[in-house]
Amino acid sequence: MLRRTLLPVKSALWSRQMSVLARSVKYTQHGEPQDVLELVESELPDPKDKQVLVKILAAPINPADINTIQGKYPVKPKFPAVGGNECVAKVLCVGEQVKDLKAGQHVIPLATGLGTWTTHAVYNEDQLMAVSDKVGVAEAATVTVNPCTAYRMLKDFVKLSPGDTVIQNGANSAVGQAVHQLCRAWGINSIGIVRDRPEIADLKQMLQCLGATAVLTEAEIRTSDIFKSGKMKKPRLAFNCVGGKSATEVSRHLDHGGVLVTYGGMSREPVTVATGPLIFKDIAFRGFWMTRWSKENYSSPERSKMFKEIFDLMEQGKFVAPTHEMVPLKNFKDAAAAALNFKGFTGKKYILDMSE
């Protein structure tokens, strides 16, 4: 909420003649989101030195955000904490030492743990990255976690070439949807495994429209001859976000020397290694955590290259946001509960809309 107006001083410098009242979703202890989250108002200070004042446009609710609030995630915030790690925002004004950002630009957070479920915030310039306003709000708001996870897993474990194959369970997840789109852009076959459900035909069609080469249920993959018949090259890379029997089944289809990368565990069951493939096909099991990679590569050229490639695809209309629903900020508790319990066929993402 802006109580006054922004007054331009010079073409590159802005001075703030106003006070900003931010509405933020905060919590002071760990617990279930419905019990510990509150909408709190607070006045923000003027941005100084290398600080930037932004108006948040949209901020998604990710599973990791919910787990952080519950106290079940490796990241432990200092209380009081603002929920959320991703967003897209518009720069309102900047401190006098800010060099590369200016009022009106769209930005996304490069750092984690900033707290993005808020209408306004003051961040440091080096915690933000400018993005083109040609990129959709939903795409920009959700880019730093799921698309980047998909990108890194496709790039960092096995050197893939056009015509190669990857296989993944949880193929309708936000990461799964990103994997399909990147594979299509790079000429890689993408095989998706999903749970059976009444809407399975619609789900398969949706994922194939995103770029999946084939989508099979957990029962279908157990009897499919898609690899043995030679219809498709055996996968050299597999992604697991489920765990348990699902991960074991996916690993059985890997080619010699293949790698299974685990980035989630929705079933909360351990990843079990099948002895035969482990010994005779020399398959490897690895783990991936986007937060760790981002911290280790905060200012690396590789990170800049990744964002450029993803944003180029978005601007070309070749990469879209995951299936999602925009939710007014005032309904944050309902959205958090839905994000935790939603069992629909797409597992859609809820995005807090701060435009109200």
Report pLDDT digits (tens) over 137-183.
Answer: 999 999 999 999 999 999 999 999 999 999 999 999 999 999 999 99
Angle between helices 63-70 and 332-341 (to 10 degrees): 100
Distance CA 289, CA 128 (A): 21
Whether the model clears a pTM of 0.85, i.e. scores above it, the answer is yes
73 is catalytic: yes
**Residue 232: other Cβ atoms inside 10 A:** 19
**Which is higher by pLDDT, 228 or 235?**
235
Distance CA 228, CA 178 (A): 27
Residue 274 pLDDT class (50, 70, 90 cuts): confident
Task: List the beta bridge partners of residue 128.
Answer: 109
Distance CA 266, CA 247 (A): 11
Determine the average pLDDT of the residues in 253-270.
94
Distance CA 286, CA 349 (A): 26
**Percent of the chain surpassing pLDDT 90:** 87
Q: What is the pLDDT of residues 109-142, one digit of tens each?
A: 999 999 999 999 999 999 999 999 999 999 999 9
Say if residue 95's pLDDT is above 60.
yes
Backbone torsions φ then ψ of 218, nearest 5 degrees: -60, -35
Distance CA 346, CA 90 (A): 30
Q: Which of 27, 73, 151, 350 is catalytic?
A: 73
Residue-level pLDDT at 342: 54
DSSP symbol at 173: S
Determine the average pLDDT of the residues in 13-38.
84
pLDDT averaged over the chain?
92
Count H helices, E strands: the chain?
12, 20
Q: Worst-scoring range by mean pLDDT, 2-16, 63-77, 87-101, 304-318? A: 2-16
Residue-level pLDDT at 273: 87
Question: What number of CA atoms fall less than 13 Å from residue 51's CA on the CB side?
Answer: 12
Cα separations in angstroms, 76 against 47, 68, 73, 172, 199: 26, 7, 7, 29, 38
- Burial category of 188 from C-beta neighbours within 10 Å (exposed 0-12, middle 13-18, buried 19 and up): buried
Distance CA 224, CA 133 (A): 44
Say if residue 2's pLDDT is above 80.
no
Residue-level pLDDT at 102: 97
C-alpha 35: how far from chain center: 25
**Percent of the chain surpassing pLDDT 70:** 93
What residue ranges define each of the domains in the chain, with the CATH number in brackets? 5-142+321-353 (3.90.180.10), 146-291 (3.40.50.720)
